[in-house]
């Protein structure tokens, strides 16, 4: 990122200022890292009630098939992702990955079937590259639009459904990963039952001009607090979810990243549309034989947080390398430090003790499941 | 005598021993602390050396030794309950007591008025 280019603002920028947010640069945007409640309270509030996040920096892309047939857009997108897009029903969404020829991950994204088009949500830092990639590969069959007139907010937590039901009663009929269109205060929105916290919740695409009004009304509810990027990070880490650029990147494959669940049967060996995505040879081989390293959860045994970048060893003297931590923090809901990282497959079994190098010391950590909380998705 | 550093530490100096902590401004900027690591009694430290580490949910930060000296006591209470640093940074949230090699060196630090100007 060029340090001299001016930071972009989301449609909710003025709202953040009025709420007393502390702003930081993130992926080229001036974004709220925390509000006056602070990261700890914001995190715990989201798991106890409901939190409102501005994620308008993320890219929203519409993929419209020239033929008018959604199958054509699905098959076109399948050339870039190892995901069953064709089998995604209307009004449904699933997680996906753009891969490269080496099997690395160019970005992770959400793919929704909106009936006559596909709707994609991609990471802020990757959105221009993703859009160029899509245009280069798919412009023969699809019309592509990177929306610049929509905000995106997330309402997350056990009270999210009740809060949203006050604006739209039918919200209770949605299941996890459903996508629907609804008017919130007469503003046409696209709502998905999904999120990045491990909690039940919704992500809502709103016309930019109305985003502040809708957000303010949601914040008027006593159960809702605004939540910054700080708590967003600790929430997703406790839920075992990847942050692109930290936990997955062009140097990690979906199999190494323990994201096999995102690769449906239809795209695997023996499937109806086996392979046919960048890096398929490598990824299908790893699906069959495993990879040399694997993303795992890591629970530090002491109180000291172990941060991204810390090296992992099999011994307490730092002689035999076992891997590296990619994200680490204190987990406010877990009430202990939480981390994830890549370890040699030989050391990836749950309960394996490893040692993380922190300020010249070797602190014991235990390999564990990726999620430190029990997700509350409404399946 | 109460002194401050540009690194947002306070020193309450009695004779040749300084009680050292971080300022309310620093505690507010760091946010909720979840971990504190303190130096052991008997450790000799030069001015500017890393004396302690504090961690919030988001990040780790160093606390520097404000003057040359020897650690004579550390505050176990903030190790057991790091939130004390946020709730009472200039009282119960003190970090360590430092026996100063040269008490007169404290004259070179900021007084309260100068520190307030620094953070204004």
Same domain, A35 and A166: yes
Give the per-residue pLDDT at A1: 47
> Percentage of chain A surpassing pLDDT 70?
99
The domain boundary, picked from A254, A274, A291, lies at A291
Q: Does any CB of chain A come closer than 8 Å to the CB of residue B101?
A: no
Chain A residue closest to B55 (CA)?
A305
| Residue A40 and residue A180 in one domain | yes
Residue A377 domain flag: no
Check whether residue A81 and residue A195 sit in a common domain.
Answer: yes
pLDDT at B24 over 60: yes
Q: What is the CATH number of the domain that holds B114?
A: 2.40.50.100
Q: Is residue A379 part of a domain?
A: no
CA nearest to B86 within chain A: A38
Stretch A225-246: mean pLDDT? 98
Tokens 């931590």 correspond to A325
Q: Are residues A254 and A297 in the same domain?
A: no
Partner residues linked to A364 by β-bridges: A355
Contacts of A377 (CB under 8 A, 6+ apart): A176, A200
Q: What is the mean pLDDT of chain A?
A: 97
CA distance B90 to B27: 10
Question: Domain for residue A159, yes or no?
Answer: yes
pLDDT mean over B52-73: 96
Q: Which of B32, B55, B60 sits opposite A40 (nearest CB)?
A: B32
Same domain for A303 and A236 = no
Would A375 be classed as within a structural domain?
Answer: no
Best of A21, A31, A36, A39 to substitute, by most chain B Cβ atoms within 10 angstroms, is: A39
Phi, psi (rounded to 5 degrees) for B59: -155, 160
Contact A305 B55 (CB under 8 A): yes
Query: Looking at residue A3, what is its pLDDT?
Result: 57
Torsion, CA A196, CA A197, CA A203, CA A209, rounded to 10: -90
Total tally of structural domains belonging to chain B: 1
More confident residue, A375 or A173: A173
Q: Are residues A269 and A338 in the same domain?
A: no
Q: How far is it, in rounded angstroms, from Cα A180 to Cα A91?
A: 6
Assign A216 a pLDDT band (cuts: 50, 70, 90).
very high
Which pLDDT tens digit goes with each residue over A329-375?
Answer: 999 999 999 999 999 999 999 999 999 999 999 999 999 999 999 98
Q: Hey, is the C-beta of B48 within 8 angstroms of any chain A C-beta?
A: no
> Looking at residue A320, which CATH number applies to its domain?
2.40.30.110
- Do A183 and A93 have their domain in common? yes
| Residue carrying structure tokens 């919030």 | B56
The token pair at A301 is: 């045994």
CA-closest candidate to residue A49, choices A201, A174, A205: A201
- A378 domain-assigned: no
Domain end position, chosen among A266, A291, A316: A291
Q: Please name the residues between 291 and 350 in chain A that touch chain B, using a CB distance below 8 Å.
A: 303-305, 307, 329-330, 332, 337
Give the whole-angstrom CA distance, residue A333 versus residue B80: 18
Is A267 found in the same domain as A305?
no
Nearest alpha-carbon partner for A365 in A334, A332, A328: A328
Do A169 and A104 share a structural domain? yes
Bridge pairing between strands A353-358 and A361-368: antiparallel
Residue A13 in contact with residue A29, Cβ under 8 Å? no
Which pLDDT value is given to residue A5?
Answer: 77
A120 part of a folded domain? yes
Confidence of residue B58 (pLDDT cuts 50, 70, 90): confident
Q: Which of A59, A61, A60, A62 is nearest to A27 (CA)?
A: A59
Residue B99: pLDDT band (50, 70, 90) is very high
Q: Which of A328, A223, A168, A70 is nearest to B34 (CA)?
A: A328
The three-state secondary structure class of B47 is coil
Range of the domain at A300: 293-370
Whole-angstrom Cα distance, residue B82 to residue B34?
6
Domain residues for B108? Answer: 2-119
Distance of residue A38 Cα from the nearest chain B Cα, in angstroms: 7
Measured in degrees and rounded to the nearest 5, phi and psi for residue B78 equal: -80, -20
> Domain check: are A127 and A273 in the same one?
yes
Quick one: pLDDT at residue A379? 87
Inform me whether the pLDDT recorded for A4 exceeds 80: no
How many domains does the structure of chain A reveal? 2
Task: Report yes or no: B81 at the A interface, CB cutoff 8 Å.
Answer: no
Is 50 exceeded by the pLDDT of residue A263?
Answer: yes
Residues A57 and A200 in one domain: yes
B119 close contact with A: CB closer than 8 A: no
- The phi and psi torsions of A226 (rounded to 5 degrees) equal -75, 140
Res A256 pLDDT > 50: yes
Q: Token digits for A188? A: 């046409």
Same domain, A213 and A316: no
pLDDT in tens, A102-128: 999 999 999 999 999 999 999 999 999
| pLDDT at residue A292 tops 90 | yes
In a domain? residue A156: yes
CA angle A365, A371, A375 (to 5 degrees): 155
ipTM for this model: 0.89
Is A65 within a domain? yes
DSSP code of residue B110? B
């Amino acid at each position: 990122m060029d340090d001299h280019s001016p930071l972009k603002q989301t449609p909710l920028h003025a709202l953040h200022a009025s709420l007393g947010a502390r702003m930081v640069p993130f992926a080229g945007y001036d974004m709220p890292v925390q509000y006056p409640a602070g990261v700890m309270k914001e995190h715990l509030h989201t798991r106890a009630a409901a939190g409102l996040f501005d994620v308008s920096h993320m890219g929203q892309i519409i993929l419209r098939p020239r033929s008018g047939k959604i199958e054509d857009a699905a098959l076109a997108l399948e050339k870039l992702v190892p995901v069953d897009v064709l089998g995604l029903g209307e009004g449904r969404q699933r997680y996906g990955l753009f891969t490269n020829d080496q099997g690395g991950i160019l970005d992770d994204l959400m793919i929704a079937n909106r009936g006559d088009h596909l709707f994609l949500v991609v990471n802020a830092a990757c959105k221009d590259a993703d859009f160029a990639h899509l245009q280069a590969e798919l412009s023969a069959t699809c019309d592509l639009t990177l929306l610049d007139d929509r905000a995106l907010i997330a309402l997350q937590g056990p009270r999210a459904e009740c809060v949203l039901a006050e604006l739209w009663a039918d919200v209770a009929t949605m299941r996890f990963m459903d996508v629907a269109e609804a008017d919130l205060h007469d503003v046409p929105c696209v709502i998905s039952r999904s999120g990045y916290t491990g909690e039940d919740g919704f992500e809502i695409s709103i016309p930019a001009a109305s985003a502040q009004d809708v957000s303010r009304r949601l914040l008027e509810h006593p159960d809702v607090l605004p939540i910054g990027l700080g708590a967003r990070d600790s929430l997703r880490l406790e839920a075992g979810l990847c942050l692109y650029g930290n936990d997955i990147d062009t140097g990690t494959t979906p199999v190494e990243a323990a994201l096999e669940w995102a690769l449906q049967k239809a795209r695997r060996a023996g499937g109806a549309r086996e392979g046919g995505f960048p890096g398929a040879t490598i990824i299908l081989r790893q699906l069959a034989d495993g990879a040399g390293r694997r993303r795992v959860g890591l629970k530090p045994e002491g109180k000291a947080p172990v941060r991204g970048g810390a090296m992992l060893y099999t011994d307490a003297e730092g002689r035999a390398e076992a891997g590296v931590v990619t994200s680490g923090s204190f987990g406010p809901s877990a009430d202990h430090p939480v981390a994830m990282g890549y370890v040699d497959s030989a050391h990836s079994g749950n309960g394996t003790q490893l040692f993380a190098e922190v300020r010249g010391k070797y602190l014991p950590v235990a390999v564990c499941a990726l999620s430190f909380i029990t997700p509350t998705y409404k399946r | 005598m109460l002194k401050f550093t540009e690194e947002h530490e306070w020193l309450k100096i009695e004779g040749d021993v300084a009680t050292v902590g971080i300022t309310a401004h620093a505690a507010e900027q760091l946010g909720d602390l979840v971990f504190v690591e303190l130096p052991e009694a008997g450790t000799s430290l030069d001015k500017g050396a890393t004396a302690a580490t504090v961690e919030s949910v988001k990040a780790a930060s160093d606390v520097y030794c404000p003057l040359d000296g020897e650690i004579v006591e550390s505050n176990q209470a903030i190790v057991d309950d790091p939130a004390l640093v946020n709730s009472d940074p200039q009282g119960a949230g003190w970090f360590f007591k430092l026996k100063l090699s040269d008490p007169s060196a404290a004259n070179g630090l900021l007084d309260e008025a100068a520190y307030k100007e620094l953070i204004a």
